[in-house]
Amino acid sequence: MTILNGKEIAAEVLAECREKVEALQAGGITPGLAVVIVGDDPASHVYVNSKVRTCSELGIRSRKIELSAEATQEQVLQVVRDLNADESVHGILVQSPPPPQINESEIIDLIDPGKDVDGFHPINVGKLVVGDESGFVPCTPQGCVRILQSSGIETTGARAVVIGRSLLVGKPLASLLMNKGFNATVTVAHSRTRDLAAVCREADILIAAIGQPEFVTADFVREGAVVIDVGVNRVEDAGRKRGYRLVGDVAYEEVAARCSAITPVPGGVGQMTIAMLMSNTVKAAELRGS
Ligand code: NAP
């Protein structure tokens, strides 16, 4: 059984980004990422700070724009308009989730699709579906397929089952895997799927993006399958100083005993998401070429 090491693969992606940033800088272009955060959700601030820190390690110029928890929709829209017009900014992301008064989809629709490095704008969603590689693919699904590629796992002809149909993970992942290039035969399962365990046992590659701690048990997994665990869930743990530990959507120990390869949590898919964001930002700068 192989443990698919997201940390190592993310380091590989970041090294590629660093080389590309140097090449861009040699041509007079410094890639720039603007991160907009509305409100004071502590987890969102941790994510944003880690994005900003990774930018600075790679030579990407980053800008953090903080708006108060009371910011209006119009204020956020105006920030996005200004960033769309700013030539030094190649990538824009608005950290999710915003406070309840903010209509997130209206904000995403306003982002210039050429700067939409989260890949959520309908134009980029459409490009992914038609297989147009000039678009931006959401970072977490892109991280999942990069783990498969870097680990030499054959997707062509493989049966892939994705549990979860969110716009953030499940749907874009299913599109990626079925596109030419990956050529998998894809099934998307969700909360209304009948006999989910039997559907999952069909999979050569099983991907869980559910948000339920340790939901996928050994009886969901065919002997020798590859298992990618996207889930990040907090469960109480009095034995830990912080009072909780992180677990995935997969019951790791029992599934690891059945499968041929698995991503751990933490140390698997989670490591890849920021790396793919950096990769999308570099791509945005390369595509614009100024
Ligand atoms: P989400 O929007 O809540 O979607 C969850 C999906 O799982 C839905 O499609 C839902 O089905 C399905 N589902 C829920 N319970 C189910 C059940 N009992 N049986 C079958 N399907 C079930 O979540 P998400 O944003 O896609 O995130 C999924 C997980 O990935 C979360 O744990 C999240 O923390 C994690 N995540 C990790 C990263 C990372 O960087 N590692 C990034 C993003 C997300 P319905 O559509 O029928 O409700």
Distance between Cα 185 and ligand 1 center (Å): 21
Q: Measured at the alpha carbon of residue 127, what is the angle toward residues 122 and 129, in degrees to the nearest 5?
A: 95
DSSP state of 221: S
Half-sphere exposure for 240 (CA within 13 Å, toward CB): 9
| Region 264-288 average pLDDT | 97
How far is residue 123's CA from residue 236's CA, in Å, rounded to a whole number?
40
Q: Measured at the alpha carbon of residue 19, what is the angle toward residues 14 and 21, in degrees to the nearest 5?
A: 90
Distance between Cα 164 and ligand 1 center (Å): 5
Is there an atom of ligand 1 within 6 Å of 279 CB? no
pLDDT of 31: 98
Is there an atom of ligand 1 within 6 Å of 232 CB? yes
Task: List active site positions.
Answer: 51, 95, 118
- Average pLDDT over the chain reads 97
How far is residue 93's CA from residue 273's CA, in Å, rounded to a whole number?
13
pLDDT of 67: 98
Q: pLDDT grade, residue 250 (50/70/90)?
A: very high
How far is residue 163's CA from residue 189's CA, in Å, rounded to a whole number?
5
Is there an atom of ligand 1 within 6 Å of 190 CB? yes
Ligand 1 closest atom vs CA 169: 26
pLDDT of 280: 98
| Region 275-280 average pLDDT | 98
pLDDT of 201: 98
| Region 214-219 average pLDDT | 98
Is there an atom of ligand 1 within 6 Å of 278 CB? no
Q: pLDDT grade, residue 6 (50/70/90)?
A: very high
Mutate-to-test residue for ligand 1 from 54, 93, 166, highest number of ligand atoms within 8 A of CB: 166
